[in-house]
Each structure stands twice: as structure tokens, then as C-alpha cells.
Amino acid sequence: MITTDQVQIAAAEYLGEKWGTPVTVCNVEKIFGGASRETYKLTLEVDGETRGVILRRDPPSSLIDTERHLEYGAYERIYPTDIPVPEPLFLENSTDFLEQPFSIMAAVENPMSDVALLSEEQKQKIGKQKYDLLGCLAAKDPLALKFDEIMTVPDAASTAAEQLAYWQGVINDDEIHPQPIAQAATRWLAANRRRQPRKSQLFMAITERVISCSMTRRRLPPFSTGKCAIWVIRWKIWPGPWIRYGQGKTSNWPGG
């Protein structure tokens, strides 16, 4: 396991090379909670100024299947828009610096994560803003944002079948003992998958901080213009209640 001292030394060397100026890493704080990446907050001194960055390092193995270049590339394409996301700085695929690939983004300064400190009025306001932003994201054209540069553009007419086949493969490859419930669920989905409309539209959604997509049924976010397919980057077979963006309400999935 890598130590915070190793992170401090390697990050200073790496960022100094990237920015072409000496960088001092004054503090390294490991952030716990993420299951897909090791996450560290770094406080830097650069050209006489203090700034914070977030470093996310791939572990040797992960409980969650996420693709680094898709996650980083999504932030990179959304950052210039009106959707507030952290500024992506560097994506490093080499293992020379920290033994594993990693990415670095600008830190959000003075964040508040303890919701107990918020008033009910603040919670309502933040909740509305959250779903308004998700709606705005769903309304954006993935192709206009050049998502086709970081992933294969799916065929909107076969999105559900492709993802079902993918997750069936994941279940089969990863199981260490029989999984009758998961196998029964995939059989049911295959037998009950509804025919998609001839005209479908690709759009984006967020799941677990990763740009993701799935196949929705009947009820759709108001920003989707009433079409029925979502661009798949990451998808769950059973996403549970899904959000009607912009309204802050949930609807049982599938079927409404």
C-alpha cells in the first residue's frame, strides 16, 4: 500500500514537471468513502500561491467497475459548460509516479459536507438546484460535447440489449458461487425487455458521481423531449427509483 509520504513526494515531482515550476506539497489528506479510487486532497504551494487539488489513484483492484478515461473525459467535456464540476487537470496512465494510474482535479474550496449544519430552507434550495442541474445535463447533446471521442457511440435502438449482455457477462465472470437471484433477474429482463421506439434520443445522466446512462421505461425526464434511450457509459440493471430531473420526485422503475 502506498503511503501519504510517497504521494506527497511523487505529486510534487509530477506537478512540477507538468507546470514547469517548482511545486511544494504542504499537506496530504486521505479522503475515505470512495470504493473505486484512492482519493487524496493535496495542499500545494505554487509560485507563491496556495491551491488545493484532488488526486484519485487507481487501486490494484476495485469493487466498482469504472473506466478512468471515461470518468475524466466526461468531466473534461462538461467543465466548460454551465454545469458546475471540478476542473480536470491531468490524467496519467503511467505507473511510473504512483505505481498505479491516477487523475488530478482542482479542489472545491471551502466545501460543506455535513448536512446537519444546514437549515431546512437551505436543504430545500440545494435539493432543487441539484435536480435542476441534472435536468440541464440531460438536455445537453452528448455528440455536441464530443463524447464520441472518448467512447463508442451506441446504437440507440439496441442500448438495453447491449447493456444487459454486458452485465450478464460481468455476473458470470465475477461469481465465486452460484447467483440464482441475479441470473433470474437477467433472464426476466431478457424476456420482458420492451421494444424501443423507432426514434430515440441519446442523453446523459449521473449515477454515483460518474457520467452514466441506462434504458428508461415509459416516464422520462422532461428535458428528454419524450424519447426513450439514454447514452450508456455506466449502467445498472436495477437502478432503483430514478429521478424525474428538475422536479425532485422519484418514480418506481420500471414502468412508472
Whether residues 81 and 162 share a domain: the answer is: no
pLDDT at 28: 95
pLDDT at 33: 66
Q: Tell me which of 77, 106, 135 is where a domain ends.
A: 106
Domain of 102: which CATH number?
A: 3.30.200.20
Whether residues 140 and 86 share a domain: the answer is: no
pLDDT at 24: 97
Q: Does residue 191 belong to any structural domain of this protein?
A: yes
253 contacts 242 by C-beta, under 8 angstroms: yes
Whether residues 97 and 147 share a domain: the answer is: no
Tell me the pLDDT tens digit for each residue of 3-45: 999 999 999 999 999 999 999 999 999 988 655 688 999 999 9
Q: Does residue 126 belong to any structural domain of this protein?
A: yes
- Segment 221-239 shows an average pLDDT of 32
Q: Which of 30-34, 111-115, 129-133 has the largest mean confidence? A: 129-133
Q: Does residue 10 belong to any structural domain of this protein?
A: yes
52 contacts 41 by C-beta, under 8 angstroms: yes
Between 203 and 237, residue with greater pLDDT = 203
Provide the b/e sequence for 137-163 (b: ≥16 CB within 10 Å): bbbbebeebebeebbeebebeebbeeb
**Res. 256 pLDDT band, cuts 50 70 90:** very low
CA atoms of 71 and 34, how far apart (whole Å): 14
Q: Does residue 114 belong to any structural domain of this protein?
A: no
Whether residues 50 and 128 share a domain: the answer is: no
Angle between helices 180-192 and 159-174 (to 10 degrees): 160
- Segment 206-211 shows an average pLDDT of 43
Between 196 and 112, residue with greater pLDDT = 112
Whether residues 212 and 235 share a domain: the answer is: yes
Q: Tell me which of 106, 131, 151 is where a domain ends.
A: 106
Residues spanned by the domain of 47: 4-106
Between 6 and 248, residue with greater pLDDT = 6
Q: Does residue 33 belong to any structural domain of this protein?
A: yes
pLDDT at 223: 31
- pLDDT over 70 percentage in the chain: 71
Whether residues 61 and 134 share a domain: the answer is: no
Whether residues 206 and 164 share a domain: the answer is: yes
Whether residues 238 and 129 share a domain: the answer is: yes
Domain count, the chain: 2
Whether residues 148 and 85 share a domain: the answer is: no
Whether residues 34 and 124 share a domain: the answer is: no
Of 217, 221, 213, the residue nearest 247 (C-alpha): 221
Whether residues 14 and 96 share a domain: the answer is: yes
Q: Does residue 240 belong to any structural domain of this protein?
A: yes
CA atoms of 218 and 24, how far apart (whole Å): 54
Between 154 and 105, residue with greater pLDDT = 105
CA atoms of 126 and 131, how far apart (whole Å): 9
Burial of 216 (0-12, 13-18, 19+ CB in 10 A): buried
Burial of 237 (0-12, 13-18, 19+ CB in 10 A): middle
pLDDT at 68: 81
Whether residues 246 and 141 share a domain: the answer is: yes
Q: Does residue 129 belong to any structural domain of this protein?
A: yes
**Peptide bond between residue 241 and the one before it cis (omega within 30 degrees of 0):** no
For the ranges 56-60, 194-198, 205-209, the lowest mean pLDDT is seen at 205-209
**Res. 159 pLDDT band, cuts 50 70 90:** confident
| Cβ neighbours around 72 below 10 Å, total | 20
Q: Does residue 142 belong to any structural domain of this protein?
A: yes
Q: Tell me which of 106, 132, 149 is where a domain ends.
A: 106
**Res. 60 pLDDT band, cuts 50 70 90:** confident
